[in-house]
Amino acid sequence: MSFHRWKLIVALLSTVCFTAAQAAGFNPSTSSEQTELTNRVVRKINNAASAKDPIRGLRTFASQYRPNLLKRFLTYVSYNRQSSETEQITPDQIETAKKLYAEIQAMGLPVTLTEHHYLFVEIPSNLTRKVPVLGYSAHYDVTPGIEADNVKARVISNYDGKPIVLENNQVIDPAQANGAYLPSQVGKTVVTSDGNTILGADDGAGVSILMTFLQTLAENPKRPHGKIQIVLAPNEDVGRAAEFVEETPYKPEIAFDFDGGSGGRVIIENFNARQEIFTVTGVPGHQSYAAENGYRNAWTPACELGAQICPEKLMPNFSTGRDGYAELHHMSAPGGKVSMAELDIRHRGFDTNVMDQWEKNADEIAAKIAKKYDVKISRKMIDNYKNVAECSHPKALEITQTAFTNAGVNINIETARAGTTAAMFVTKGLVGAYTIFTGQNNPHHYTEWLSEEDMFHSYLLSLSIMDEVAKQPVTCTK
Ligand SMILES: [Zn+2]
C-alpha cells in the first residue's frame, strides 16, 4: 500500500477514534489532552502500518542513519589508505586500521585488531534459539595502481543529468560507458573525486556501510539478531585480503562481502582459479655427448606438454559465458638451467568436476611425455580462489532474495568470470559469500563515483539480511 493511502487512513481513523473515545466516556477537557489522544491513536496506527508494510518500516528506521552514512564515507575517503605490491602493510593502512578500531571501541563494541591489521567484531546473539552465524566483510585499503592520496571528494546534491566535468581532463558522461548508470541518479546525490585521484568508494562504501551497521546495532540492542561477525581486511586491492584472515575468529555460516558495484548487483558465483605448476627436470651435461652422458634438455618436452594440456579449444579467447579455460600463462627456467623448465598453467572454470577432469588428463599427458623424453615431470596445484556458489549456505539465495524484497530494492543477480574477495576467503576454509553492491562505479579510475542512494540501499540490505537470518533455523555448512 502506498504511503499516501496510509496517511489518508490514519487521518480518517484518528477522527473516528477520537469520536469513539468521547462516546465511550473519555471526555478530554483540554485541547492538549485532545492532541495527546489523537497522537496516541496516530502512533498506534502508524506502528500497525509499519508492521504490515515491512519496507516502509525498515526504511523509516534506517533513514535516521542515512546522513551518518554519507558523513562516514566522506571521512574515510579522506584517509590515505593505499596498499602496496611490495610492502607487507603500508603505514597508511596501519593508521586507518587504528582509526577504525578507535571508532568501533567508542561505540562500546568488542573489537580486535590482529597482528596483520585485520579488524574483527563479534556481536553475540540476542535470541533464545540458535540461528546461523552471520558474517559481513569489507576492505579498508585502496588500490596502489593510481593516485589515491589526499582525496578531495565532491558531493553533487540533486544531480542534474549532465556530464560531470572534473579536473585533470576527466569527464563522467551519461552518454559514455563511464556514466551509463548516471541517468538513474538524476535528482539524487552523487559523489566524485576532484579528478586528480580516485575517490576510494572501493571499498570506502563497504566500510561505511558496515561501520554504520555496527553503530545501528550498538544503539538498538533489542533489534533481534543471531551471532554476527564482521571483518575489515587490509591489502584486498593487491590480492591479499585472505592472507591472514585466520588470525581472526571469523567463521560465519552465512556470509556477505560488501564490495560490489551498483544497481542492486549481487555476485552469487565466480570462477574457480587453479594454478598448475609443472616442473620438467632433465639431466645436465654436455650436449655433444648426450648419447653417452645422459644429458636431457627439458624444453622440448616442456613445449609439447604446454601445447597438449592447453589446446586451442581451451584457450581464453574461445571461452564465454559459463565456459572455463586453460591457459599456458608463462614458462621459466629456474636457475637459468636448460635442463629444467617450469610451466605456469592457469585453469579457470565454474565447475570443479570439469576442472578435475582437466587435471586428470594433464597428469596422463605428463606421464606419456616424461616416458617419451626420459625426463621427470612433477605437478603442484594451488587454489588461488574458489567458486563461492559451491560452498555457500544452502539457503543463501533464498535469504538474499527475501532480504532484497523486504528492503524494497530490485535484485540484479550476476556471476563473475573472475575472483572475488569472498572467493579468496573460501581457500581459507570459510563459507562462500555473496558480493553485495555498495554504490561504487568505475573503481580504480579518476572517474570513480558513488551513488549515495545505492550505498543507503546496501546499508538497508545489511539490516534486512540480518532480520531474515534471525528467522532461520540453524544449518551448518562446514
Ligand atoms: Zn574492492
DSSP characters over 165-214: E-STT-EE-TTSGGGTTGGGGTTS-EEE--SSS---HHHHHHHHHHHHHH
What are residue 283's DSSP bridge partners?
296
Q: Do 371 and 277 reside in the same domain of the chain?
A: yes
Distance 122 CA to ligand 1 centre (A): 22
Tell me whether residue 48 is in a domain.
Answer: no
What are residue 121's DSSP bridge partners?
111, 230
Distance 208 CA to ligand 1 centre (A): 13
pLDDT at 337 (0 to 100):
87
Q: Please give the backbone phi and psi of residue 66, each rounded to the nearest 5 degrees, phi first.
A: -60, -45
Distance 44 CA to ligand 1 centre (A): 44
Distance 416 CA to ligand 1 centre (A): 14
Distance 288 CA to ligand 1 centre (A): 56
Distance 330 CA to ligand 1 centre (A): 27
Q: Do 84 and 192 reside in the same domain of the chain?
A: yes
Residue 352, domain extent:
273-383
Distance 11 CA to ligand 1 centre (A): 48
Cβ pair 310, 324 in contact under 8 A: no
Distance 235 CA to ligand 1 centre (A): 10
Spell out where 335-375 has E strands: 340-349
Distance 407 CA to ligand 1 centre (A): 24
Distance 202 CA to ligand 1 centre (A): 5
Distance 99 CA to ligand 1 centre (A): 20
Cβ pair 328, 314 in contact under 8 A: no
What long-range pairs does 422-425 form, CB within 8 A, spacing at least 24?
422/137, 422/255, 422/257, 422/270, 422/388, 423/270, 423/271, 423/273, 423/385, 423/386, 423/387, 423/388, 424/239, 424/241, 424/242, 424/384, 424/385, 425/137, 425/241, 425/242, 425/245, 425/255, 425/257
Distance 443 CA to ligand 1 centre (A): 8
Q: Do 345 and 375 reside in the same domain of the chain?
A: yes
Per-residue DSSP letter, 325: E
Q: Report residue 473 as a C-alpha cell.
A: 533455523
Residue type, 345: I
Distance 473 CA to ligand 1 centre (A): 32
Tell me whether residue 474 is in a domain.
Answer: no
Tell me whether residue 228 is in a domain.
Answer: yes
Q: Do 254 and 359 reside in the same domain of the chain?
A: no
Distance 201 CA to ligand 1 centre (A): 8
The mean pLDDT values, 10 residues at a time, for the chain of 478 residues are 41 40 42 61 57 84 97 98 96 98 98 98 96 98 96 98 98 97 98 98 98 98 97 96 97 98 97 96 94 94 97 95 95 92 96 95 98 97 94 97 97 94 95 98 98 98 98 62
Cα gap 254→471, rounded to integer Å? 13
Distance 384 CA to ligand 1 centre (A): 17
Distance 94 CA to ligand 1 centre (A): 18
Distance 308 CA to ligand 1 centre (A): 36
Tell me whether residue 55 is in a domain.
Answer: no
Q: Do 361 and 282 reside in the same domain of the chain?
A: yes
Distance 32 CA to ligand 1 centre (A): 55
Q: How many domains does the chain have?
A: 2
Distance 393 CA to ligand 1 centre (A): 23
- CATH for 332: 3.30.70.360
pLDDT at 17 (0 to 100):
38
Peptide bond into 257 cis (omega under 30): no
Distance 136 CA to ligand 1 centre (A): 14
Distance 259 CA to ligand 1 centre (A): 5
pLDDT at 437 (0 to 100):
98
Q: Do 278 and 263 reside in the same domain of the chain?
A: no
For residue 471, CA distances in Å to 61, 325, 391, 399 come to 19, 41, 21, 10
Q: Do 245 and 161 reside in the same domain of the chain?
A: yes
Distance 368 CA to ligand 1 centre (A): 44
pLDDT at 21 (0 to 100):
39
pLDDT at 54 (0 to 100):
79
Q: Do 152 and 221 reside in the same domain of the chain?
A: yes
Distance 178 CA to ligand 1 centre (A): 18
Tell me whether residue 118 is in a domain.
Answer: yes
Among 188, 182, 183, CA closest to 158: 188
Tell me whether residue 326 is in a domain.
Answer: yes
Residue ending a domain, among 348, 383, 418, is: 383
Q: Do 258 and 281 reside in the same domain of the chain?
A: no
Residue ending a domain, among 383, 417, 452, is: 383
Distance 309 CA to ligand 1 centre (A): 33
For residue 230, how many C-alpha atoms fall within 13 Å in the half-sphere facing its CB? 31
pTM: 0.84
Q: Do 290 and 266 reside in the same domain of the chain?
A: no
Contacts (Cβ under 8 Å, ≥6 apart) of 269: 350, 387, 388, 389, 415, 416
Q: Do 195 and 342 reside in the same domain of the chain?
A: no
pLDDT at 473 (0 to 100):
74
